[in-house]
A and B are shown apart, each in its own frame.
Chain A
Amino acid sequence: MESPDDARIEADGSTLVDVHWWVGGAIGLAAVSLVVTAHMVSVARDALTWVSLGTLIAVALESILIRLERLLRYRWAAVLALSGLALIFGTVLLTVVFPVATREAGKFDTDVPRLVERLDDLPVIGGRLVDADVPARLERWVQGLPANLGVDDAPLQGLFRSVLDGVTALLATVLVSIAVMLDGNRLRRGVLRIISVRRRDDVVRAFDILYRTVGRYFAGSILVALSAGVAILIVGLLAGVPLAPVAAVWVTMTNLIPQIGGFLGGSLFIVLGATQGPTTLLICLGWFLAYQQFENNVLQPMIVGDAVDLSPPTTMIAALVGASAFGVPGALIAVPLLGAGKAILIELGLVSVGASSDGAAAKSGPLRRAWGRKPNRARR
């Protein structure tokens, strides 16, 4: 076999390749750029999180936006209408939830000691909690809370700063969402401008897969999580479960974690219910198990369906890695990105796979899928 001009075979049989010094320079430059980029990403982590979350929300709302755009003719009118609807929904939610939340927060200092008193009566784990000094620690923390807030201003300043940070993050995320919704088509055209004509259709297909997978998974997961939170809040308030809003928020947050989210969220709700006696415990347990069945077999397949075609361990590892890197937004984005990556590789023929066992189900309607097949994200 003939060797290329810049390679020669030595006497001992080994091949010596002559690499131009520019190659080394380019690799060095790439390494330095990588370090600088990593530094910039670590410094601008908050901003990048807001940008990612805002972009995700915009992608998730794209299908509604396209329909509104057809109705109202102009994209800006569709964005304005959608933003107005979101504002009205947010205001109504705040008006309904905020009084309940402040009332529950007012009961916080009476609810927690009552809860602490009942912790040692809990079946199975009560004794262990007492051994670990959990009730006494909780009581000390609650007793110290009013004094800390009243005399020492530091916790209050921290709270004020947290609220301010939260408002900034919310405003930035909403702004990015609106900006991406307004700019979506132009950004898409802009990216296509720098792609060669030969590759353009592949990129368009990849875009479509990405936006379908991410949008559907993200919007669906948020809807399912909110639904779980509302279900827990209603039953918690009706059954007199202490700190029901806290449990509802916890269930909503953990619902976004695949496979173990349901167990994580439900365990707090059930433990809180157990402090009110065996009847409340049974109500909480029964409701939670029934709701999980409904969510896993009806709601989840109907709303999220097979947006991502990944195995349970893959979704779980992806979500955990995403959460540890970027918190809740990371957990949300990791799974659909991985799913979209897989779908793009398959679509472009870069990897080959066998016939999907879910192929027939995927072609059927959502209700038939809901009853006719095991959910893809069998999570809980």
Chain B
Amino acid sequence: MSSVRVLAGTRKGAFILTSDGKRKDWKISGPHFTGWEIYHLKGSPADPNRLYASQTSGWFGQQVQRSDDGGETWNPISAQFTYDGVPGTHQWYDGTPHPWEFKRVWHLEPSLTEPDTVFAGAEDAALFKSTDGGNSWTELSGLRTNATAPGWQPGAGGMCLHTIILDPTNPERIVIAISAAGAFRSDDGGKSWKPINKGLNSKFLPNPTAEVGHCVHHIAMNAKTPKTLFMQKHWDVMRSDDAGDNWTEVSGNLPTDFGFVIDVHTHEPETVYVVPIKSDSEHFPLDGKLQVFRSKSGGNEWEPLTKGLPQQDCYVNVLRDAMSVDALDDCGIYFGTTGGQIYCSPDAGDTWNTISEHLPPVLSIEVQTLA
């Protein structure tokens, strides 16, 4: 019988939650890496027992951990992230040039086919790749040396590369997103990159439709339709049907189109999920009601999903990497909150169960569907 393994990164360690395919009863292990911030952990699609975790601390810096047994045991691997050549400058908050400085890894994306190959998205924004299981890292510096890079500027959370999407039909195609530079795509395996922000409109920019400078919060893709991308921007929910070349707004009837997470149903490429957040200055749900919104039409028409979610006095946030979906026949949807709750819907969002309620603030959620 199939089972699922939920990988939760939190402010004070990593937790692993497991359940059978019913997704009703859960076992929790952890905290792993007690006291450290775990920005993200994710399993290899090619070998589910191979997990990678980004472990970081304001005091003790960046570490990366690897497990070869599904999270039972872990070992540190290389955390030597060195920018290629002279790093150069990007714009600082005050508009002055500021040198690129490595701070942490926000996201680890294992290859779809090779367990020893993994990508790391860094702050200050850069993409690194390892082909030896994390024993060494090489920057794909064509991104950071893109002609637009000197004008990139950090968002409030830092200038982080937080989203990495690998195209299952084209190993040369990678889509990434940076706050607050925008989305970029490579069609040659990461050697060269181009901004893909046409159609985005950001009122905080002097030119709201500028080529770069957009605060993209997250991008999601269904593996069956890799040219279709869904984006939760700072404000606005967007979609593209040409791998990011052009974007159109699909916020439709959402009560607020600010938010961080976005994800797509595993089996229904037009079924999309977001968690609307009140505003950029009020990072909590509208009216204290935690609601996931689902569109079955690829956007524009959204319905609130509330059964099992708190509908009063709820003032948590759901951060950009804290939603995931499983691949069971009845697609499960998962998300974690800054209040330490993890919710699971075993029926594509119709009803929700709390599978953990007192963890540290949740930074990321990934789900593995195990045979």
Please determine whether chains A and B interact with each other in the same assembly: no
Give chain B's interface residues, CB within 8 Å of chain A.
none
Give chain A's interface residues, CB within 8 Å of chain B.
none
